[in-house]
Amino acid sequence: MTIQEVDPKIIAKANVWLEGNYDEETKAAVKKMMDSNPAELVECFYRDLEFGTGGLRGIMGVGTNRMNRYTVGAATQGLANYLKSALASETEIRAAIAFDSRNNSDLFARISAEILAANGVKVYLFDSLRPTPELSFTVRHLKCHTGIVITASHNPKEYSGYKVYWNDGGQLVPPHDVNVINEVKKIASVDDIRFSGNPENIVIIGEDIDKAYLDTLVQLSLSPDVIKRQHDMKIVYTPIHGTGYRLVPEALKAYGFTEVHIVKEQQKPDGNFPTVVSPNPEEKAAMDLALKLAKKVNAEIILATDPDADRVGIGVKDNDDNYILLNGNQAATLLTYYLIRQWKVKGKLTGKEFIAKTIVTSELLKDIASSHNVESYDVLTGFKYIAEIIRNNEGKKKFIGGGEESYGYLVGDFVRDKDAVSACAMLAEVAAWSKNMGMSLYEMLINIYQEYGFYLEDLVSITKKGKSGAEEIKAMMDGYRSNPPREINGVPVEKVKDYLLQKETDLNTGGQKPIDLPKSDVLQFFLKGGSKITVRPSGTEPKIKFYFGVKGLLPDKSEFNNLHAKMKAQLQEMISAMKLN
């Protein structure tokens, strides 16, 4: 590509950066792209990095479509403008800011703090990297009106991100999300951003918040006596170069565990994530070093957190004494079962308790809850919706826990986002409780399947890039919506939920009823026998995702292996029947 082939609109946007009030290093980078890399210029300027309902996320670099001091600055100025408008009656507006181990996270956090301070907001800025859930806790603990965390979660090293929270400690939900987005869109020029002023408005925070967070976290423990007996149970933990490196071991120690083995190669925070391709505990490659250490020390459980420590992956031994990785549905099942059972044992169930899960998460959680007269809420994908349910039920019902299939869990309500720090501590407690009962976590999972039904899930993501890809994804959704399948692999479809049209249809009777959730381009097909398929275009990637779940009955544990193989085959047959290729 030559510069002459570049869309004039892109050239015009780049020239704004060359001629405007931008730093010289940035201008030099833009000039270099114009002179020698027009294809990269297109990628950096063909659009504005969108401030969505979850904030910003993108590749770091120069340009309107990249994460840099100016795109972060515009987001923060837009947030400041909304705060001043929405909270005009407040004598002091307060914000908390945290950041993860990614390259430039501390820089973007400092820029955000300085802009808010320049706009008259009192800012509590962490002195060094901290987990995302601690930011959520801090917003509530310090009675802040908003919070920001600089993180791109489990994305590759090239990415950074910017998430915004409201005064309940949850990520922005309506109407605040849309209102902030509108203010960000009004930032027409770099000159609209107040980058400096009022440094006295910035207060540095650190260990005092850590202590308060850990003190509260310890109160979640339901079996301290069991941990005393199993304190030397071997645990392997890896922070995968992220923010969990200190607080997760401290949380495990505070719970009473004395044999925590940390993966040394991944202990040090490092935004380059040198030992992995992607710092994602959902991927086996990121867990290889932890699996190796677990074999060496004969660990009972493996725990791994992503860079901002809001997701956790776990590994356990199967019945053949081999280490395997559990998926997010399985970990959520173990945690939910344990929590509800212990609440019952301790006489804490009054009929006013609830759990919450996303609509793509296993129905097994709902079955476990309902068997104990615990209400279960289904919410759209995104933990902010679980936080919203907790807020809406405050003072009326008690939240036990919640989770999503993408490795995010929350116990208790003192944090309002998925929390891998508390989840690590609680999952270790579940392992100790299970061991104290004379069984492994894997055996405990099989027992749950025997009692409630065996659920098995799989996820298929299909990438469709570019404009044509987006059109293809839309056509797929339109096709499923206008002509839903009546049967899949010979199994009748009994019910269809359309979250965009907000209606549920019984295909046997034709009857319909409304869905009381926000509009979202998601379809679900419920099959006879308990199987479920969810179709959802990704909101952050050029992908369409298919979530498959099948259900079987396990009358005897000795039949588990055969049933497992049969259900895996059933899943593959369902996937083939959907003709995704």
What is the separation of C-alpha 250 from the centre of its chain, rounded to a whole number of angstroms? Answer: 22
Question: In the 8-state DSSP scheme, what is residue 217?
Answer: H
B/e letters for 345-380, b = 16+ CB within 10 Å, e = fewer, are eeeebeeebbbbbbbbbbbbbbbbbeeeebbbbbbb
482 assigned to active site: no
- Of 412, 232, 227, 402, nearest to 331 by C-alpha is 402
Cβ distance 418 to 424 under 8 Å? no
List 105, 112, 153, 362, catalytic entry: 153
- Of 180, 201, 8, 228, nearest to 77 by C-alpha is 180
Pull the structure tokens for residue 309: 């420590």
Pull the structure tokens for residue 206: 């650190």
Pairwise CA distance, residues 516 & 389, whole Å = 12
Please list, in sequence order, all residues whose beta carbon lies within 8 angstroms of the beta carbon of residue 499, skipping any fewer than 6 positions away.
359, 380, 515, 517, 519, 520, 521, 522, 523, 524
Pairwise CA distance, residues 205 & 489, whole Å = 57
Locate the DSSP E strands across 172-240. Answer: 202-205, 235-238
β-pair partners for 487: 492
Pairwise CA distance, residues 405 & 360, whole Å = 7
Catalytic residues: 153
